């Protein structure tokens, strides 16, 4: 194994040379209280920390970053914490998805413009994970991800509560008049009782697990609950390993391949993971110069059983998953579906990383002969309503709706839906198909998690808990229901979803992967000719940049100018280095 020499470090150009500028870098580092022996000839490890006072999922990162630094110091590196935009899922409006690419850009440019030799990426709350990884892949320095870890189980009168999933469940019960305001208050008090990200198999747990399978974390890192002392140990060990990765020059594009992304997709499917992973993994793969398509998800879904008995599709929570053996044990149940020869950031293969892991609870991590679903954790639909694809999660819907035909009830945007959904005179029954327009990447904008349209109150009172819903929005990974999502092209740019009218018959057949609007070509053409493009929502600032460059959901919603060009993707070239003047 060849090891880098200190003068080959990227930071050497800032610190090691003898010129006027390096004098400035050294004297200003001294100003911060560091002696030159603290950093001279050592790898500078940038710690990109998405802590913020308004991100509850990362509230422990103030402490964890000290543990990462401890590991970096112990391994002979020089840790430099760099705060980055936090993307707090519960608070940021209209949606964190509007800002995923901004954090990706910030990550890439922090790494490019400062003397980083390697980096530790600290994230976990939904979009932070793909954003940090996308930026780091584009910069391609030695990189390791420290997942925030799930919070502890929620508690309500002694029963376990799951993030998101139980919010939707008890909200529906409150609206149906089945629980009291005091019950609802008790749910509010008990559902989030420790630091850490959502503890259902929502987007956060899905993405951190995917990133572990890609080989970008220490083995076993993604499943450790945030408050567990082993999480602090993992943070420290990740800091240590970041230093070693620099000396060994282990960079993500050296080991990421189409097969490692297939492994990540297979894992997401077997976990019954979030539909959001589709958008994020496509975008991450593209940053690595790898073409991952919607159809690849569908191919892998047909052969992959759902084995994680975790909410929203199953019963348990991430804390239970950790005690059952966590992701490493889970992957031992999928070995025939994974390419275990894929390399990882620890210099070993995925197979090496899971060797010896044992499942401790067959109720949580199901055996292959007792899957939650035999296949189809997610499914990709095509048809005249979604020419470029749409997404559904068969694992989280009532089975009778997988084949359904019903009349459309159309809401032209979110406000229209919010204004009318509980109207007692709404012309709706359990067979209706709720359609939400203008909720996609351009339309909302930002493609918010509006795709789990609420069941109309009058149907809730009749006992209806699921119905077919269609939109170009996303859905929270903690949600459930017969929700067709990510319809592409979106309605705002004239996709067929924009042409649906009340009463049109819509047909879904999940098994056949079809989604169709049952009206004739001539009628559709007539409506298309009459369609008028809606007005633009942002005329300045970041929003204007976003609207100009955002791509559709089937392309991963990255900005067109952030994808590698063909040449650099093919050769895995790092981007240009800054001049140091
Ligand atoms: Fe942060 Fe769910 S709110 S992961």
Q: Residue 103: in which H helix or E strand, if any?
A: helix 100-113
- Band of pLDDT at residue 579, cut at 50, 70 and 90: low
Q: Residue 118: in which H helix or E strand, if any?
A: strand 118-123
Ligand 1 in reach of 125 Cβ (< 6 A) = yes
Q: Are 504 and 519 in contact (CB under 8 A)?
A: yes
Q: Which atom of ligand 1 sits closest to the CA of residue 204?
A: 4
Q: Which atom of ligand 1 sits closest to the CA of residue 163?
A: 2
Distance 485 CA to ligand 1 centre (A): 20
Ligand 1 in reach of 57 Cβ (< 6 A) = yes
Ligand 1 in reach of 318 Cβ (< 6 A) = no
- Band of pLDDT at residue 572, cut at 50, 70 and 90: very low
More confident residue, 191 or 397: 191
Token digits of residue 561:
């100018």
Residue 130 CA to residue 140 CA, distance in Å, equals 15
Distance 126 CA to ligand 1 centre (A): 6
- The answer on pLDDT for 274 being more than 80 is yes
- Per-residue confidence (pLDDT) for residue 65, from 0 to 100: 98
The pLDDT tens digits for 547-556 are: 999 999 999 9
Q: Give the 3-state secondary structure of residue 383.
A: strand
CA distances for 252 relative to 126, 144, 555, 563, angstroms: 21, 9, 22, 16
483 by Cβ neighbours in 10 Å (0-12 / 13-18 / 19+) ranks as buried
Which residue has a Cα nearest atom 2 of ligand 1? 198
Residue 376 CB-half CA count within 13 A? 18
Distance 24 CA to ligand 1 centre (A): 41
Burial code (b: 16+ CB inside 10 Å, e: under 16) for 3-17 equals ebeeeebbbbbbbbe
- Band of pLDDT at residue 272, cut at 50, 70 and 90: very high
- Per-residue confidence (pLDDT) for residue 569, from 0 to 100: 53
Share of the chain above pLDDT 70, in %: 97
| Helices marked H in 497-540 | 521-530
Which residue has a Cα nearest atom 1 of ligand 1? 125
Ligand 1 in reach of 106 Cβ (< 6 A) = no
Average pLDDT, integer, range 52-78 = 98
Ligand 1 in reach of 204 Cβ (< 6 A) = yes
- Per-residue confidence (pLDDT) for residue 566, from 0 to 100: 59
Average pLDDT of the chain, as a whole number: 95
- Per-residue confidence (pLDDT) for residue 570, from 0 to 100: 46
- Per-residue confidence (pLDDT) for residue 575, from 0 to 100: 53
Strands lying side by side in the sheet with 386-392: 386-392, 379-383, 514-517, 505-509, 403-411, 433-436, 469-471, 483-484
- The answer on pLDDT for 1 being more than 60 is yes
Distance 59 CA to ligand 1 centre (A): 12
Token digits of residue 224:
């450790």
Best residue for ligand 1 mutational test, from 163, 195, 211 (most atoms within 8 Å of Cβ): 163
Average pLDDT, integer, range 474-494 = 93
Reported in sequence order, the residue ranges of 384-440 that DSSP labels E, i.e. its strands, are 386-392, 403-411, 433-436
- Band of pLDDT at residue 275, cut at 50, 70 and 90: very high
Q: Which atom of ligand 1 sits closest to the CA of residue 89?
A: 3
- The answer on pLDDT for 60 being more than 60 is yes
Ligand 1 in reach of 126 Cβ (< 6 A) = yes
User: H helices then E strands: how many in the chain?
Assistant: 22, 14
Q: What is the DSSP letter of 381?
A: E
- Band of pLDDT at residue 568, cut at 50, 70 and 90: low
CA distances for 183 relative to 168, 188, 511, angstroms: 14, 9, 39
> What would you measure as the largest C-alpha separation in the chain, in angstroms?
78
Ligand 1 in reach of 198 Cβ (< 6 A) = yes
Which residue has a Cα nearest atom 3 of ligand 1? 89
3-class secondary structure per residue, 67-95: HHHHHHHHCCCEEEEEECCCCCCCCCCCC
The pLDDT tens digits for 402-456 are: 999 999 999 999 999 999 999 999 999 999 999 999 999 999 999 999 999 999 9
- Per-residue confidence (pLDDT) for residue 477, from 0 to 100: 80
CA dihedral 221, 201, 134, 436 (to 10 degrees): -170
Reported in sequence order, the residue ranges of 310-464 that DSSP labels E, i.e. its strands, are 379-383, 386-392, 403-411, 433-436
Q: Give the 3-state secondary structure of residue 162.
A: coil
- Band of pLDDT at residue 395, cut at 50, 70 and 90: confident
The pLDDT tens digits for 32-58 are: 999 999 999 999 999 999 999 999 999
Q: Which atom of ligand 1 sits closest to the CA of residue 56?
A: 1
- Band of pLDDT at residue 165, cut at 50, 70 and 90: confident
Supply the pTM of this predicted model.
0.96
Ligand 1 in reach of 151 Cβ (< 6 A) = no
The pLDDT tens digits for 104-120 are: 999 999 999 999 999 99
More confident residue, 397 or 74: 74
């Amino acid at each position: 194994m060849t090891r880098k020499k200190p003068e080959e470090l990227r930071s050497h150009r800032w610190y090691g040379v003898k010129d006027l500028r390096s004098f400035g870098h050294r004297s200003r580092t001294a100003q911060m209280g560091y002696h030159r022996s603290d950093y001279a000839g050592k790898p500078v490890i940038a710690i990109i920390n998405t802590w913020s006072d308004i991100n509850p999922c990362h509230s422990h990162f103030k402490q964890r970053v000290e543990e990462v630094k401890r590991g970096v110091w112990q391994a002979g590196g020089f840790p430099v914490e760099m705060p980055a935009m936090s993307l707090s899922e519960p608070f940021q409006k209209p949606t964190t998805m509007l800002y995923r690419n901004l954090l990706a850009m910030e990550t890439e440019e922090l790494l490019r413009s400062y003397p980083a030799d390697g980096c530790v990426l600290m994230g976990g709350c939904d979009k932070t994970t793909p954003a940090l990884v996308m930026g780091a892949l584009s910069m391609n320095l030695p990189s390791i991800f420290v997942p925030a870890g799930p919070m502890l189980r929620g508690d309500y009168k002694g029963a376990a509560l799951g993030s998101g999933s139980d919010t939707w469940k008890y909200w529906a019960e409150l609206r149906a008049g089945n629980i009291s305001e005091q019950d609802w208050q008790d749910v509010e008090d008990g559902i989030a009782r420790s630091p850490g990200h959502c503890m259902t198999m929502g987007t956060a747990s899905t993405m951190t697990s995917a990133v572990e399978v890609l080989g970008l974390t220490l083995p076993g890192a993604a499943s450790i609950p945030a408050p567990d002392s082993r999480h602090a140990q993992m943070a420290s060990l990740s800091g240590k390993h970041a230093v070693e990765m620099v000396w060994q020059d282990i960079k993500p594009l050296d080991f990421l391949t189409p097969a490692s992304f297939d492994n990540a997709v297979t894992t997401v499917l077997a976990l019954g993971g979030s539909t959001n992973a589709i958008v994020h993994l496509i975008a991450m793969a593209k940053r690595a110069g790898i073409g991952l398509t919607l159809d690849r998800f569908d191919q892998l879904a047909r052969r992959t059983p759902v084995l994680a008995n975790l909410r929203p599709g199953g019963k348990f929570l991430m804390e239970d998953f950790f005690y059952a053996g966590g992701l490493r044990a889970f992957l031992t149940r999928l070995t025939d579906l994974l390419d275990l020869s894929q390399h990882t950031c620890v210099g070993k293969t995925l197979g090496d990383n899971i060797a010896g892991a044992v499942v401790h609870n067959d109720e949580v991590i199901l055996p292959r002969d007792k899957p939650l679903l035999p296949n189809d954790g997610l499914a990709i639909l095509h048809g005249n309503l979604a020419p470029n694809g749409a997404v559904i999660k068969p694992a989280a819907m009532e089975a009778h709706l997988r084949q359904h035909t019903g009349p459309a009830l159309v809401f032209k945007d979110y406000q229209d839906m919010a204004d009318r959904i509980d109207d007692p005179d709404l012309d709706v029954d359990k067979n209706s198909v709720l359609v939400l327009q203008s909720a996609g990447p351009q339309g909302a904008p930002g493609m918010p998690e509006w795709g789990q349209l609420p069941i109309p109150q009058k149907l809730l009172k009749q006992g209806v808990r699921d119905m077919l819903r269609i939109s170009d929005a996303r859905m929270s990974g903690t949600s459930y229901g017969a929700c067709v999502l990510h319809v592409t092209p979106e309605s705002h740019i004239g996709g067929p979803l924009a042409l649906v009218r009340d009463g049109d018959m819509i047909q879904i057949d999940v098994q056949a992967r079809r989604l169709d609007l049952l009206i004739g070509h001539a009628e559709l053409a007539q409506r298309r000719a009459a369609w008028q493009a809606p007005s633009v929502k942002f005329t300045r600032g970041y929003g204007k940049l976003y609207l100009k460059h955002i791509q559709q959901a089937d392309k991963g919603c990255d900005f067109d100018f952030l994808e590698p060009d063909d040449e650099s993707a093919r050769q895995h070239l790092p981007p240009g280095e800054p001049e140091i003047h």
